[in-house]
Copies of this chain bind each other. A is one copy, B any other.
Amino acid sequence: MLDFNEKTATEGVLKSFSSIKNERLKELMSSIVTHLHEVVKETEPTFEEWLTAIEFLTRTGHKCDDRRQEFILLSDVLGISMLIDTINNRKSKNETESTVLGPFHAEAPNISLGNNIANHVEGERCIVKGKVTDTNGNPISNASVDVWQSGPDGLYDVQKENHIVDLRGKMTTDNDGTYLFRTVKPQYYPVPTDGPVGEILNSLGRHPFRPAHIHFMVKAEGFVDLTTHAFIDGDPYLETDTVFAVKESLIRKLENSTDPKDGTSCKTLEFNIVMQNN
């Protein structure tokens, strides 16, 4: 184009996509370019502001390595990850809602129903249980229930130096769709704040905390895979989760209870799961 100006700019760039063979790439890039140009037109950034953005993205890239994904964290704290999760997991009936996978999923040891997954931390003992059913309430036996969580110190096993697998397990529901495991109460925790995303949260006047939760990944033949969390009622960060992952339907009370195995006092969290037909 020989007539680049504020009015022709976007159309000119979109025209440069006319030889793309991949129609989906064209759709994605056209939307991205159109909206980034809108941001520039709306806010009229100075050269210095543009350079600050370039430097922020560069430092975000430099912070990424095999164990750290700062661009996913950026997507998380701007609500983009959750929006993509929500759009890809629309519910039509009474199915359990999804929420983000998060960066701490890892291969978990297979456990039997009732086993304890918190073997290397001290904390408030807790039984977590529920039924996996279809949308009509029929139990789903033999469903795979993969769970993981942070400990009372707010850390996942993979964040610790010792690399000992803990606070995660994979079990299979029994004939009436029931799952049950023993653990300790999870704790709220901050997302990593020692990188560019931490800086921007600080500039935005936002805290870095996520409310306490237990992750679930549930799979069963004939049903859509479900990735979600059970959140703990009363957590101080439920309304301001820094990655916007809380849905009211996923919050559960921790009830005072007694462990039937040895009569000791403990908490119980009940989280029933409704799967969507394939």
Residues of chain A touching chain B, judged by Cβ–Cβ distance below 8 Å, are: 1-6, 9-10, 12-13, 16-22, 25, 27-29, 31-33, 35-47, 49-50, 54, 57-62, 64, 69, 71-72, 75, 78-88, 203-206, 238-240, 244-248, 251
Contact = CB atoms under 8 A, between A and B. Distances in A.
Contact of A32 (B4, B16, B39): B39
Contact of A80 (B1, B40, B85): B40
A186 to B, nearest CB: 18
15 contacts: A3-B248, A4-B246, A6-B83, A9-B244, A12-B244, A20-B204, A28-B45, A37-B79, A37-B80, A37-B83, A40-B87, A45-B84, A54-B69, A59-B61, A61-B64
A80 B10 CA distance: 9
B16 A206 contact: yes
Given A57-B57, A83-B9, A49 B20 contact: no
A87 B79 CA distance: 29
B47 A84 contact: yes
